[in-house]
Structure formats: structure tokens, C-alpha cells
A and B are shown apart, each in its own frame.
Chain A
Amino acid sequence: MKAVKIIDGLYWVGAVDYDVRLFHGFHLTTPRGTTYNAYLIIDDRIALVDTVYGPFAGEMIEKIREVIDPKKIDYVIANHVETDHSGAIKDILKYCPRAKVFCTQRGQEGLFKHYFENWNFQTVKTGETLSLGKKTLQFFEAPYLHWPDSMFTYIQEDAVLLPNDAFGQHYGTSERFDDEVPEYVLMSEAQKYYANILTPFSVLVAKKLQEIKEMNLPIKIIAPSHGIIWRKNPQKIITAYQQWANGQNDGSVLVIYDSMWKSTESIARQILEGILSENIPVKLIRSAVTDRCEVVKDILTARALVIGSSTVNRGVLPSVSSILDELEGLRFRNKVGTAFGSYGWSGEGPGLIAERMKKAGLEIIAEPLKIKWVPDEPELKASYQFGQKIGQLLKK
């Protein structure tokens, strides 16, 4: 792929990672691959905003070369320390060793602690600007969106926001813009990205969006550091972020479970039918065979979670436990739920699930349902009624 002109004087010079299927080591799934977006700004002085993951440094430099000689770069703007964006700074600085590296104070500390090099750093704070000639860059610190060092860069004259990981998606395609790809895929990947990465910082996302709104900054283009650039309708992703950050939901229920010998499964299916009978949208998810990151994506916009597991070794099945780990770490806002499961003797499962859901900030709206061995007819009926009751409680 070649460098892509976004507007006059602004080029995408990043890299498409078509092959990556697991990200952050083995943490997140990226079935559509991803991109590392670096942006080159050509003016009287030349700035490179962010770089790419180290193994893609050559691709980035090749693209820069299509536009200018990399030796001419005056400034490297490092919006974020994480190695998928800073990994090629050392490679580009070989061409332009005197270029100034702009970042936040924490960015400087973090970059040093990643690469152990004393580059020509200049730290910036919110509101500070850098004139390139005709274009002016303005910086906004964005601590914890999603690392302490994160910042946004804004091109004033062009109303282009370069917010690094915010508004990004792991979507590795040859297309670069929102008007070139199917919107449902784009929004689904953006939601998955938000859910898995930004959820813990939702309260700060909401504050930052408010801050930007109050500044009345015109925003014509949002060019994040992963995936597709928003140029057709940047407000679409801003509105979505507002909704996700505020914990808005679609009223749906997720029944998430795993089962050993089908007892917990048959309870789950009765709960599903009971909830459906109240005309509440509901999805059944078997955690052991479902991509955990996709479940997290669905949780972001659900109203209620009904989580079930067989009791095993006085605890729950590992795939259910990993969903509970995610809930405790991500701390979704405005969720309710309860738990269920079959057991043979000790029967701690449902109680433990409810306890951990509570710890994760969910409100438990019904006493967990626990059934010994294989559910009989009355117990199946009770499971159905449990679902009905959940549906009724959600209507209140």
C-alpha cells in the first residue's frame, strides 16, 4: 500500500497488519487484523504524528519517502508511549536525529523507560501549540485515555483531530476512510475496541468529550491510530462514545454460561425462554466457545447479565471465571444481573458469581438460582419463571 493523501498537507503513512489475530501479546482478538496509523504533515516545517509498531518501521519509512525525504522531518509527535505507536521512533530518528520529540511529561518518562534513549524531547501541556507555518498543531493531554501519557493532537486550520487510540478500531483493510467500508463492521469493531480497552476509563471519556464540546472545536476529520479514518461523519463516533461512556444500553439481556453435562445448559435455555416470553431482547452465549472479547463487546450495550456455571471444585468453570475477571477489571456502568447453575454437592457456583458481579459494580436484582444435579420438570419450570421474573423486573 502507498501513502494516502487525506487532505492537502496531511498523509497517512502507517502500516496495515493484515495478519495479526491476537493483540497485546495474546490478550485481545483481532479477527480483521489492524492498522498502525502514522500521519505526516507537510508545511514549512514537517511533522510526523505517531509511528507504527517496530516490525513495520520499514513500511512506514517507505511511505514517508514517497512524500518527502525522511531527513526533512523536524518534529515527531508521540501522542502515546505504547509500542504499537512508538515502536518506530528510533528508526525514523536515524534519518532525522535532531528532530524534536513532542509528548507529555509522562510520555517522556514512558518513552525513556521503553527505549532508554535521551531523544530531543519537548514536553507539552494542554492548550500548547506548535506552528508548522500555515498549519498549527494544538495539544490536549488525555490522561488515562487510555494510558497516563496519552494525548491528542489537533490541526487547527484543518479541524483534524489526531486522538491516537481514542476512536480507533482493529480493522485492517486497504480502505482508509469511513465512507469506503460497511458501516456496521466499522461500528462493531469500534464498539469492541471501546468495550475491551476504554470501558474502565468511561468516566474520563465522558469528561473529555464534554471538555471538547465546551471548547467548540470544529472537527471535520478524526484520524485515530488504529483502523479507519472518520471523515464522512466524525460526529457518529463521538455520539457513540458519549453513549458508551455514559453506560447507555439497548435494554437487552445476555445469558452467559458454561456447563459440564448439560444441566446448567438446560437451565440457561429455560431462562432464555422465560426472558423472551416477556418480549425482552436476549442473547444466549456459551462462554467456553465464544470469543471473550466479543462477549465483552456485547456486554457494553446490554442492560442485564444472567451468568451461570456448573459448580466445579467449589468454584466456577474457567471460561465463566474469565468473564467475571473482565467484569471486575472493566467495571461497566449501569448494569444489573443475577446468577444460576447446577451443582452436585457443595454448590458454591451461583453465589460466587453473584458476589463477583456485585464486586464489579453490578446490581443483583434476583436471588441466584441453584439446582442440584439434573433439573426435573418442576425445576425446569422454576428456571423458566426465573427468566420471566428477570424480564418483568427489567420492565419496571
Chain B
Amino acid sequence: MDKYKCTVCGYVYDPEKGDPENNISPKTSFEQLPADWVCPECGAPKDMFEKM
């Protein structure tokens, strides 16, 4: 599963870790994230992320 980086603030979404604070369990791929998921660091939407 690929990591994705936020082009606004540089936060890296690591699917191994997920985003537990926002109810995204570990092993959730970037593609599986809900469409309204936003960067937990800066609030940028999903389409502002780039595959690393």
C-alpha cells in the first residue's frame, strides 16, 4: 500500500498506521479513505495528496 503526502503541509498518510484519531483504522489504503477525509494536520482535502 502506497504512502501519500499532503502537498499543502507535508503530512504523510501511512496506510500501515491509518489515522486512528479520526477513526481510520490501520491497514486502510489511501484509496479506501472516505471522500470527505481531510488531512489531519492542515485540513486539506484528499485530492491535495500525492502518491510518494
Interface positions of A (Cβ within 8 A of B):
143-144, 148, 200-201, 203-204, 207, 331
Contact = CB atoms under 8 A, between A and B. Distances in A.
Given A144-B9, A207-B43, 18 more contacts: A143-B41, A143-B42, A144-B8, A144-B42, A144-B43, A148-B41, A148-B42, A200-B8, A201-B8, A201-B42, A203-B8, A203-B44, A203-B45, A203-B48, A204-B8, A204-B42, A204-B43, A331-B7
Nearest to B48: A203
Contact of B43 (A143, A200, A331): A143
Question: Contact residue range for chain B?
Answer: under 10
Contacts of B42: 143-144, 148, 201, 204
A207 B43 CA distance: 9
Contacts, number: 23
A203 B9 CA distance: 11
A143 B9 CA distance: 10
B38 to A, nearest CB: 9
B22 to A, nearest CB: 15
Contacts of A200: 8
Contacts of B7: 331
A204 B7 CA distance: 12
A203 B47 CA distance: 10
A143 B42 CA distance: 6
Identify the 5 closest CB pairs spanning chains A and B, nearest first. Answer: A144-B42, A203-B44, A143-B42, A203-B48, A144-B9
6 contacts: A143-B41, A144-B43, A148-B42, A203-B8, A203-B44, A204-B43
Interface in B5-43: 7-9, 41-43
B15 to A, nearest CB: 23
Contacts of A207: 43
Contacts of A204: 8, 42-44
Most buried by B among A143, A148, A201, A204: A204
A331 B8 CA distance: 9
B20 to A, nearest CB: 19
A207 B41 CA distance: 15
Contacts of B9: 144, 148
B45 to A, nearest CB: 7
Contacts of B41: 143, 148
Contacts of A148: 9, 41-42
A35 to B, nearest CB: 28
Contacts of B43: 143-144, 204, 207
